[in-house]
Amino acid sequence: MLEKITAIENRYNELTRLMDENIQDYQKVVELAKERSELEPVIQLSARYRSLLNQLEQAKELESSGDDEMRALANLEIEALPPQIEELEKQLKRLLIPRDPRDDRNVFIEIRAGAGGDEAGLFAAELMRMYMHYAEARGWSVEMISSNETGIGGFKEVIFMVKGKGAYSRFKFESGVHRVQRIPATESSGRIHTSTVTVAVMAEVEEVDVQIPESDITIDVFRSSGAGGQNVQKNATAVRITHIPTGIVVACQDERSQLQNKLRAMGILRARLFEIEEEKRRQERDENRRSQVGTGDRSEKIRTYNYPQSRVTDHRINLSSYNLPAVMTGEIDLFIDELALRDETDRLSSSGDYDES
């Protein structure tokens, strides 16, 4: 581990030197300062870690001295320092895990009704509101991208964007099939129905991350179908983009201008294509890993929302909450925190041997 820490310390010092050398280039200094600030937590912990290692080494040297009082003090330190060093090692290991570069990015969230007809559409709307509450509680902004309503307050499909630092790091664990078990309002016999909704979370990506040749897409424009007065009636502002190689179709109509809708649609398309490539890489690492969304079948699920028992269960970590109303108002950190911890543990176990120190 010390070898990795030393490399980071050297990079930190190099960045400091480059900032001094480029003091007149504001943009360059900002870029260098951003990278350096990301290394500071490791630098601060490593300074404390090295200090404790030195104290322990000195204590062991004093232990062999002829002075009884000094030996007694040395023994106290030899007993007290290792637990402190071990705790710092754990913290440093976490910081040294390679981060997903997308963690700080904004996200597109797509929610689609799966099995269950109108009931699935209604639950899709409830999941959307759950995520919006969660985003707002964290101070993130939400922008609606497109929606396909069922006519009874539900959605066949809805896409929205969450903007905020760290949005992807939290929402990425929500991808998959969500199952709901409850008595629909339209069910006269009181029978519990099971429905599913699929959620896909995709980080916003830049044009440099995914380049799409003009020859690979077709663009159609049409009139928006929702409310909007004169603009909707007279102007064809909605945009539909088809990616020819994959057959992916993205439509956007909620912006006021055709250009804005095109930019939004291209952003979603880039995110989808990037996620496809990421999924291919994940499958290469784990051939048995499922795709992000799945088919929407009732048998595929990451989480179940059981209304009669007021229970929400995340099947990936076998964790349940018995306060379903709170969960549906955005209190989902219970699950996300545990999933993030498991993800961190998995990455720790596969990030290499740290015993070189």
Backbone conformation region of residue 176, classed left if phi is above 0, alpha if psi is from -120 to 50, else beta? left
pLDDT-derived band at 152, boundaries 50, 70, 90: confident
Looking at residues 238-260, what average pLDDT do you find? Answer: 87
pLDDT over 80 (residue 254):
no
**Token digits of residue 281:** 């890489």
Instruction: Judge contact between 148 and 128, C-beta under 8 A.
Output: no
Domain range summary for the chain, segments of one domain joined by +: 2-96, 107-344
14 or 298, greater pLDDT: 14
Residue with the two structure tokens 């809805």:
158
User: Taking a C-beta distance cutoff of 8 angstroms, is the pair 165, 34 a contact?
Assistant: no
| pLDDT tier, 226 (very low <50, low <70, confident <90, very high otherwise) | low
Residue 106's identity, in one-letter code, is N
Q: Answer whether residue 227 shows pLDDT above 60.
A: no
**pLDDT score, position 292:** 45
Burial environment of residue 76 by CB neighbours within 10 A (0 to 12, 13 to 18, 19 or more): exposed
Residue where the block lists tokens 């030195």: 54
Q: Residue 351: pLDDT band by 50, 70, 90 thresholds?
A: low
Q: Which helix (H) or strand (E) holds 127?
A: helix 118-137
* 232 — pLDDT class (breaks 50, 70, 90): very low
CATH of domain 107-344: 3.30.70.1660
Pairing of strands 303-306, 176-182: parallel
| Single-letter code of the amino acid located at 103 | D
Rounded to whole angstroms, the Cα distance separating 27 from 19 reads 11
pLDDT tens figures, 311-325:
999 999 999 999 999
Q: What is the mean pLDDT of residues 180-199?
A: 86
Is the pLDDT at 207 greater than 90? The verdict is: no
Instruction: Return the axis-axis angle of helices 2-21 and 68-96, rounded to nearest 10°.
Output: 70
Residue owning tokens 């912006």? 255
| pLDDT interval class at 169 (50, 70, 90) | very high
Sheet with 303-306, side-by-side order of all strands = 141-149, 155-163, 107-113, 193-203, 176-182, 303-306, 311-314, 319-321
Kindly tell me if the per-residue pLDDT of 284 is higher than 90.
Answer: no
